[in-house]
Amino acid sequence: MMKETKLFQLVSRENKHEDSIVLVNGPHGPIKIGQGYCTIIAGPCAVESWEDYLEVALFLKQSGAHILRGGLFKPRTSPYSFRGLGKEGLEIMAEARRITGMPVISEIMDLRDLDSLYQQVDILQVGSRNMQNYVLLEQLGKIDKPIFLKRGLSATIEEWLLAAEYIVSGGNSQVILCERGIRTFENATRNTLDISAIAALKGMTHLPVIIDPSHATGIARLVAPMALAAVAAGADGLIIEVHNDPPRALCDGPQSLTPKAFEELAGAIEAIRPYAHNYGTPR
């Protein structure tokens, strides 16, 4: 059995018994992540154009989402795949933030982009490929901005929590953990969603836990059942990909929900929330 107090001293449940709540400072005041608030983050995988992003952002504002997502600098397996609009996309996200009043989240890959992202993005995401980029984690530990730390493709929970420890030990305690599926032998889905990680983490750490059913499954029709399972298991929220027209999406169309499908899922989440429990949290 792991002695988590020695391995991850600051993020350990033994170091802090009560759940941590991360406050995301949006244009209209803070939004809470943690302690069962079930925060919903939604939007397309990547910011593709002004018209499309602003249209979906306005829809999500009216349909139950709390925070907008969108990739600007995309780490793609193939160098020929669409890798984001970069700084132009950042301008689009900033405008969506202004007109909706919703906070925004996007991934940081390169420390040279830290200043511009820090100024206009409310949550900085560390993607699965960078979970063990310790130079990046150390620098993010020095800023006063929430960090959304995705689990690595093949990372154990111990390795994931140690990555979080890098950030928190640098002085930034605003860390949100995101389970996005791990790589296993199974190929029926894009990755294997580790629902058990929710309860396991709740017993080991005080940090909030978010589930990404979109990247975990890679299949749009599986997103809703996995999202509901995660909420029932005690997840503190979800991050879901939504696109106006998934078949023409430049990135991750097969796993993206249509706006109508997202609206239906948001309603189902509200219905199931009263029955959700943090079974893994020490009482």
pLDDT of residue 35: 85
Q: How confident is the model at residue 282 (pLDDT cuts 50, 70, 90)?
A: low
Residue 119 has, within 13 A of its CA and on its CB side, a CA count of 6
pLDDT of residue 36: 74
Given its phi and psi angles, is residue 237 left (phi above 0), alpha (psi -120 to 50 degrees) or beta? Answer: left
Residue type present at position 231 = V
How confident is the model over 3-23, as a mean pLDDT?
84
- Of 268, 197, 257, 271, nearest in space to 60 by CA: 257
pLDDT of the residue at 55: 96
Distance separating alpha carbons of residues 117 and 105, to the nearest angstrom: 10
State the pLDDT confidence band at 237, using cuts at 50, 70 and 90. very high
Q: For residue 191, is it within any domain?
A: no
Report how far residue 32's alpha carbon sits from residue 22's, in angstroms, rounded to the nearest whole number.
6
In a domain, 166, yes or no: yes
pLDDT band at 3 (very low <50, low <70, confident <90, very high): very low
Question: Does some domain include residue 186?
Answer: no
Give the integer Cα–Cα distance in Å for 72 and 118.
13
Domain count for the chain = 1
Residue 111 is part of which domain span?
A: 22-70+82-181+196-275
- How confident is the model over 221-233, as a mean pLDDT? 96
Residue 233 three-state SS: coil
Domain membership of residue 168 (yes or no) is yes
Instruction: Tell me the pLDDT tens digit for each residue of 70-113.
Output: 999 877 778 877 777 888 899 999 999 999 999 999 999 999 99
- What pLDDT sits at residue 280? 53
In a domain, 64, yes or no: yes
pLDDT at position 5 is 46
Per mean pLDDT, which range of 1-15, 64-78, 144-158, 222-236 is the poorest?
1-15
Q: What is the pLDDT of residues 175-202, one digit of tens each?
A: 999 999 999 999 999 999 999 999 999 9
Phi and psi dihedrals of 259, rounded to 5? -55, -40
Instruction: Please report whether residue 90 resides in a domain.
Output: yes
Whether the pLDDT of residue 255 is over 90: the answer is yes
Q: For the beta carbon of residue 74, count every other beta carbon within 10 angstroms.
A: 22
Whether pLDDT at 245 is above 70: yes
What percentage of the chain exceeds 70 in pLDDT?
95
In a domain, 16, yes or no: no
pLDDT score for 97: 96
Residues 22 and 237 sit within 8 Å (Cβ to Cβ): no
In the prediction, which pLDDT does 279 show?
53
Give the HSE-up count for residue 102: Cα atoms under 13 Å, Cβ half-sphere. 26
Average per-residue pLDDT in the chain?
A: 92
pLDDT of residue 221: 98
pLDDT tens profile 31-48: 999 987 899 999 999 999
Q: Is residue 39 part of a domain?
A: yes
Amino acid found at 161: L
Q: How confident is the model at residue 4 (pLDDT cuts 50, 70, 90)?
A: very low
CATH of the domain at 39: 3.20.20.70
Residue 147 reports pLDDT greater than 90: yes
Check pLDDT > 90 for residue 22.
yes
The predicted-structure confidence for 155-165, as pLDDT tens digits, reads as follows 999 999 999 99
